């Protein structure tokens, strides 16, 4: 099953993207956290995300402003329009989070259509490259402003196999290389060429939200996967955003790494589950998503955030 994609920006303004589109998932939660701190936000998605914007506005009436725009991140035209829209609405962009992504469905590569292969690469890799390029151009023109770009990594980022997600894992594996390259280009320039001078300072970082209970994670999952590792390590979008947003704002040097599933957190979760025998609040003993009263869930078990 193909998932939708989108971007979420938060400005200082900040710009960020989310893997299920700004209309849901961790990107929606990021937006709320930044708005609550007084940041103006631009959200965008390949779908209309006006409902998401209204929900965020109603939940954070005393927070920052929110703006929304439709955007296909694999389209040069749309990304250029996104950059223009962000500058018009936000003025100065302090943070840009590349968090859009699709997994193409959990399948053997031989069973994935050629169109799906191309789509995953276009969204997860070309989309990040296009958006990183436009964000660097914008931030470079911001006089005496430090602009931060965050590339979101996922399963496959460390080079291990990702059975069922060959395309997704390959695209995510490429992002650390991209980030490392840009850090060197910004700090040292390109050998044989004069280092480019900019009015503003640009920094590029890595962002790892870990396993988040969204459609991207739960789509085509099995009871075994939901029991472990999801039931042990996965977290709700709001929990992830509350942890990561302060870390994002605390970044000061180029090439930083921000992650939710730190070694200490992983060890603590293992200790609680396997030593203390603490049960998951989200997955039952049979590997089913525990549905809370009053909440709405889709066919994969992902909870609607608004």
Q: Does residue 41 sit in helix, strand or coil?
A: strand
Which is nearest to 147 in space by CA: 209, 87, 208? 87
Residue 46 CA to residue 21 CA, distance in Å, equals: 7
Catalytic residue (one of 95, 168, 193, 297): 168
- Helices then strands, counting H and E runs in the chain, come out as 11, 8
Q: Is 30 a catalytic residue?
A: no
Phi, psi of 15 (to 5 degrees): -125, 130
Q: In Å, how far are 193, 253, 285 from 188, measured between CA atoms? A: 10, 14, 53
For 283, which DSSP code? B
Residue 198 CA to residue 17 CA, distance in Å, equals: 25
Residue 244 CA to residue 8 CA, distance in Å, equals: 15
Which is nearest to 86 in space by CA: 18, 150, 10? 10
DSSP states along 55-83:
HHHHH-TTS--EEEEE--TT-HHHHHHHH
Query: Which tokens belong to 248?
Result: 């994002």
Residue 15 CA to residue 92 CA, distance in Å, equals: 10
The catalytic residue positions are 168
């Amino acid at each position: 099953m193909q998932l939708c994609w989108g971007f979420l920006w938060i400005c200082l303004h900040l710009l960020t993207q989310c893997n299920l589109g700004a209309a849901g998932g961790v990107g929606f939660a990021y937006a709320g956290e930044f708005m609550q701190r007084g940041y103006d936000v631009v959200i965008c998605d390949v779908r209309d995300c006006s409902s998401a914007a209204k929900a965020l506005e109603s939940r954070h009436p005393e927070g920052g402003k929110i703006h929304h725009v439709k955007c296909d991140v694999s389209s040069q035209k749309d990304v250029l329009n996104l950059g223009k829209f962000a500058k018009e609405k936000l003025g100065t962009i302090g943070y840009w989070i590349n968090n859009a992504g699709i997994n193409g469905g959990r399948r053997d590569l031989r069973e994935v259509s050629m169109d799906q292969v191309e789509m995953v690469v276009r969204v997860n890799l070309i989309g990040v490259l296009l958006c990183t390029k436009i964000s660097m151009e914008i931030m470079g023109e911001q006089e005496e402003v430090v602009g931060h770009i965050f590339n979101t990594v996922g399963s496959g980022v460390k080079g291990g196999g990702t059975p069922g997600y060959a395309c997704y894992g390959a695209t995510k594996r490429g992002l650390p290389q991209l980030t490392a390259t840009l850090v060197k280009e910004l700090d040292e320039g390109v050998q044989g060429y004069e280092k480019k001078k900019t009015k503003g300072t640009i920094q590029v970082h890595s962002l790892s939200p870990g396993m988040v209970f969204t459609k991207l994670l739960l789509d085509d999952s099995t009871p075994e996967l939901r029991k472990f590792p999801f039931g042990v390590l996965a977290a709700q979008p709001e929990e992830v955003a509350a942890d990561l947003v302060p870390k994002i704002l605390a970044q000061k040097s180029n090439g930083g790494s921000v992650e939710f599933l730190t070694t200490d957190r992983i060890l603590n979760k293992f200790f609680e589950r396997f030593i203390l025998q603490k049960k998951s609040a989200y997955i039952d003993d049979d590997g089913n998503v525990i549905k809370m009263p009053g909440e709405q869930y889709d066919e994969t078990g992902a909870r609607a955030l608004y």
